[in-house]
Structure 1
């Protein structure tokens, strides 16, 4: 599972914003010619990137005449440790962070600003690393939910939810333990990371002003309620009651798809390895359109290289972000990690290889909403999950469930964050 998908379920801690220190040169060329270039740099990377780092570090060292020390630590663990390791001098100069963690860490004064080279990213990529109009990271990878489909059960990927509902009515997809229910299409809508795309597609939103104004909530407007109502239909009409169980429904979705009982699921790129291991003959496509004809606008996620605000080597750190995010470095990143690059030229390269995942993620990413990196987003995940389960179980109407969620979110924000 994506680390930032797990992160979104309320792992974020809050803190007072500190004065942030700017950094760096304007480009890799100016950095390399600077007489003030640092001679050493400490970089932290997730263990999964060892082979990539072994290729890139020597190239950077040669280009900038900087000695790089690399440590390997799980990304979330390193991010959590920075608040203590940074001030003590033990932390890295450069590390990686999920997009929704960037704003949180910046608000706590842990990150230094980053100067992005022009022309490398689209607007979504830039917004993903922007907090209060300042840039705090160089985007590395893009992620989005996609549609997986079993090629042995259906020839082509469904392009809209009307087609998915038709599948759900076919007897061959009846759930073994309850023939009145269907497992034709499944997804974990109790997780707000998954259900947001439906709510957004029907006209709802989380925060106002394109998710920059946390004082204005849109999870209970008419569009949000319409989206919640549509999802509730799947829970009540088509899906087994177990789909309401927030602790087991994800495993249920996976087991049904990998055992060849489910025709289509919506999940992230991180599930591809599990599906391959199960020997399912699957295809990947962008998300189907909703019943109102609008796009399913999922969260656009990913990771970025960020610079520790405690670093004493910000010039070299800036040079690293310039170097590691250029097109050549990002192409190598795709070849080594098989993750979709954030650099637009490298992203086009990934799509040109014919990789179905690259094509699906890239296409979906263009209609997605940047994963919200405001610290206040930490107060949304759990109430939004409860909103879905209350509506799905019939404990409340969709409108009542949405109103309760918004009230809870507002209360939590007002208690934990100063205005």
Structure 2
């Protein structure tokens, strides 16, 4: 998932509790008891407090002290920088689509999971964290976009984008809403949120090889299908369905405040929606009439073991023993209700959370967000092209310009 992270650092630095735990890379730091922490974990502001609540247990069972830090922003970039500067944490939590970039930068190691542990995860989640035949992350949550609608304003799920727009226009005309749809675009666009519409109209980002891996040599942006897809996005911009004034900061508030009946978002939106008391339902994002399915990307949140961490053996033990366990997976779900990637946790919480099955249905058949390094070349040019086109720019020239920028970046 691609959500803006905000938060402050938490947890205090503690001393290494027990010497001789792990391999020589762990022992090298054990002599300075009381001078520096043992295992260091980087997380965002929502996951850090959950890990902090388990810290005493982790320390007791692993035999090391643990420092948990919430990185306020740019977690991936800060992690790469820290790794290159020999100041990396031992474990970092992030999205699976970071993997290609992190592997290319020598920042993470494959995660050492047994076959039994691997079978405990959602198969699609495990596939998403597999890169070049090796598992590089221990997944703990999956996520995808869906259509969330205010059932008091829109009791029936739309059959197509056109059906949704017609209903939204009537609601606005009758003075019941102010916006037709809340789908974040913003000044710089948003490739992740635009992708279901783009895919429905025939666009793709990268082709796939016979084994299912993404093929960076087959760039879809700039191809006729992508131009046709952006033509449909342009039409939505002209109708006011998509707006650059709707971005990550206000897309969910527009819905919770009743200013729109329709929101395209993920499970992270539900906390605010429930707090607002909005009656809602979750269904698949509708596609364009007579065109393909509006397929969102599957995102997977994962634990990674840092290549340059000072306690790699303990880090591997932590990931294998705790991320594969139901208690931590369920606690992470309770703090931020995204469908657990661990089957045991998913089965435990699904009986009390019907939204899990609805998001799963909305994401049925969703391809994993590309984790290849070349994906980093997509986000900015694609997003800016979307924003410009929604704002009225010429479609063909804009898309071809974005394709040139992306292609040049991939060749570097």
Using structure 2 for the length normalisation, give the TM-score: 0.79
Higher helix share: 1
Q: Summarize deviations over 1:266-319 as a string: whole Å, max 9, x none.
A: 123333333344443333333234423633211222321111101343222122
Work out the CA distance in 1 between the residues paired with 2:86 and 2:409. Answer: 34
Work out the CA distance in 2 between the residues paired with 1:284 and 1:267. Answer: 10
Work out the CA distance in 1 between the residues paired with 2:272 and 2:203. Answer: 32
Tell whether 2:68 aligns with 1:66.
no
> Which residue of 1 is the match for residue 408 of structure 2?
411
Work out the CA distance in 2 between the residues paired with 1:402 and 1:46. Answer: 34
> Which residue of 2 is the match for residue 95 of structure 1?
92
Work out the CA distance in 2 between the residues paired with 1:332 and 1:319. Answer: 19
How many residues align? The count is 376
> Which residue of 2 is the match for residue 105 of structure 1?
102
Q: Quick one: which of 280, 304, 307 aligns to 2:278? A: 280
Give the deviation of 1:90 after TM superposition. Answer: 4.3
> Which residue of 2 is the match for residue 342 of structure 1?
341
Specify every segment of 5 or more residues in structure 2 that has no aligned partner in the other structure, as ranges: 6-20, 28-37
Q: Specify whether residues 158 and 192 from structure 1 end up closer, same or farther in structure 2 by C-alpha distance, changes over 3 A only.
A: same
Q: Specify whether residues 86 and 233 from structure 1 end up closer, same or farther in structure 2 by C-alpha distance, changes over 3 A only.
A: closer
Q: Quick one: which of 293, 298, 309 aligns to 2:296? A: 298
Tell whether 2:201 aligns with 1:202.
yes
Tell whether 2:184 aligns with 1:188.
yes
Specify every segment of 5 or more residues in structure 1 that has no aligned partner in the other structure, as ranges: 8-33
Give the deviation of 1:110 after TM superposition. Answer: 1.0
Tell whether 2:314 aligns with 1:316.
yes
Give the deviation of 1:143 after TM superposition. Answer: 1.6
Work out the CA distance in 2 between the residues paired with 1:86 and 1:409. Answer: 26
Give the deviation of 1:52 after TM superposition. Answer: 2.5
> Which residue of 1 is the match for residue 126 of structure 2?
126
Q: Summarize deviations over 1:367-413 as a string: whole Å, max 9, x none.
A: 222122222222212221233244334432x4443323212211232
Q: Which deviates the most, 141-150 or 154-163?
A: 154-163
Q: Which deviates the most, 223-232 or 303-312?
A: 223-232
SS at match of 1:186: coil
CA RMSD between the two structures = 3.2
Q: Specify whether residues 211 and 166 from structure 1 end up closer, same or farther in structure 2 by C-alpha distance, changes over 3 A only.
A: farther
Is residue 66–residue 316 contact of structure 1 (8 Å, CA) maintained in 2? Answer: no
> Which residue of 2 is the match for residue 23 of structure 1?
none
Q: Specify whether residues 223 and 84 from structure 1 end up closer, same or farther in structure 2 by C-alpha distance, changes over 3 A only.
A: closer
Give the deviation of 1:135 after TM superposition. Answer: 2.3
Work out the CA distance in 2 between the residues paired with 1:401 and 1:90. Answer: 41
Q: Specify whether residues 289 and 353 from structure 1 end up closer, same or farther in structure 2 by C-alpha distance, changes over 3 A only.
A: farther
Using structure 1 for the length normalisation, give the TM-score: 0.78
Work out the CA distance in 1 between the residues paired with 2:291 and 2:181. Answer: 19
> Which residue of 2 is the match for residue 332 of structure 1?
331
Is residue 219–residue 402 contact of structure 1 (8 Å, CA) maintained in 2? Answer: yes
Is residue 174–residue 183 contact of structure 1 (8 Å, CA) maintained in 2? Answer: no
Tell whether 2:149 aligns with 1:153.
no
Work out the CA distance in 1 between the residues paired with 2:248 and 2:78. Answer: 29
Work out the CA distance in 2 between the residues paired with 1:412 and 1:87. Answer: 22
> Which residue of 1 is the match for residue 238 of structure 2?
236
Work out the CA distance in 1 between the residues paired with 2:248 and 2:335. Answer: 29
Is residue 233–residue 389 contact of structure 2 (8 Å, CA) maintained in 1? Answer: no
Tell whether 2:219 aligns with 1:223.
no
